[in-house]
Amino acid sequence: MGVSRVRVRTLGEFVFCPRAGLLSHASADEDDEPTDERMNLNFLPEYSLALIEEQLAAQLRRLTGWAAWAAGGLFLVVVAASSGLPPVVPLALAVPAVLCLWKTMQALAAVTTLADRRREALSAKPTEPPTDLTDDTPVRWWELLKAGFESVPYLEPLCDEELAFAGKPWRVLKKGSLRIPVIRLPADNYHAGRYWVYEQHRVRLAAYALLLAACEDGRTPYAVVLFGGSYAGVAVPVLPAATVIAKLDELRRGLDLERMGLPTPFPSNPRVCSGCPLGRPRVMTAADRNEVALGRKRHAVTGPDGREYHCECGDRFAWTPPHDDAVRRRLVRLA
């Protein structure tokens, strides 16, 4: 039997927790990194100056239109109120006028934010980490682009057929022979200049470096992590390719053991389960019970409230992970 292809995302999950890695490998979701969202009023930063300027122009048109409607509506309200018309008339006109004013304020907020981001992009000074980087170094997105890097989104995953290993980073920064993989982490991983980049993230980045070397003969002396809600990031030294291959071998051994029906070890540190979405308990539903009737596994445990709970990890490995919600609901006790 041939060796099954493994995704970078699966390897990162396996480093975090072997059971999470096996669940990831079985998942139909093949996206390694989250894709971009189109901007809205609750938007994350946009990482392309061209898109920022496009959105700014659109919001300026929106601001102009709503402001004109709001001014016209307020003028009619004043005219109606001063003409001795019944009070219901100005009140009726005030409703759409207030709505237009609210839309105007929304557009103004978007224009202000976009203008600030455009200003930051244009005023950035070219800065890039040294190619002999040995320690984590703070970076900013626009400074890297000003230093001559081209930000490239990959449509198809990079693949090393010999290793049966594939994946694509969120972006690759290209400059000459340099190929710098970029991933994004949630805003919770960054606060007031402090950041949290864990082993699974570093292994993911090293895996992308290995794939870029195999597929494009690129040099990757460091990689970049960006954090949600800002343009701040950190350049990290890349782990040796041997580390990635060793972790990949561990993952394949875990997959082989599971195929043979042998138990998967418990997480070495139960705290990794505390916030893991795979271990978050949810109430058994009628649909879940129908699945059980069809022969599909559900590992349910009854809480003090009399309801049955299960989770994805528990269903797969027949246990109750010590997720914070499970502890709070007294479905499991920490030793």
pLDDT tens for each residue of 22-62:
999 887 566 667 665 543 434 456 788 988 999 999 999 99
Question: Please, which residues bridge with residue 69 across strands?
Answer: none
Report residue 308 as tokens: 């049955």
pLDDT at 257: 85
| Burial annotation 234-269 (CB, 10 A radius, 16+ → b, else e) | bbbbbbeeebbeebbeebbebbeebeeeeebeebee
Mean pLDDT of the chain: 89
Distance from C-alpha of 197 to C-alpha of 239, rounded to nearest angstrom: 13
pLDDT at 39: 38
pLDDT at 41: 36
Is residue 135's pLDDT more than 50? yes
47 neighbors 151 (Cβ within 8 angstroms): yes
pLDDT tens sequence across 305-329 = 999 999 999 999 999 999 999 999 9
pLDDT at 296: 85
pLDDT at 31: 65
| Higher-scoring residue by pLDDT: 291, 115 | 115
Strand-pair category, 190-191 with 194-195:
antiparallel
If you ran DSSP here, which 8-state letter would residue 120 be given? H
Q: Show me where the domains of the chain are located.
A: 6-36+153-248, 266-328
| Burial annotation 84-120 (CB, 10 A radius, 16+ → b, else e) | eeeeeebeebbeebeebbebbeebbebbebbeebbeb
Report residue 283 as tokens: 């109430």
pLDDT tens sequence across 206-251 = 999 999 999 999 999 999 999 887 898 999 999 999 999 999 999 9
pLDDT at 268: 82
Distance from C-alpha of 218 to C-alpha of 180, rounded to nearest angstrom: 9
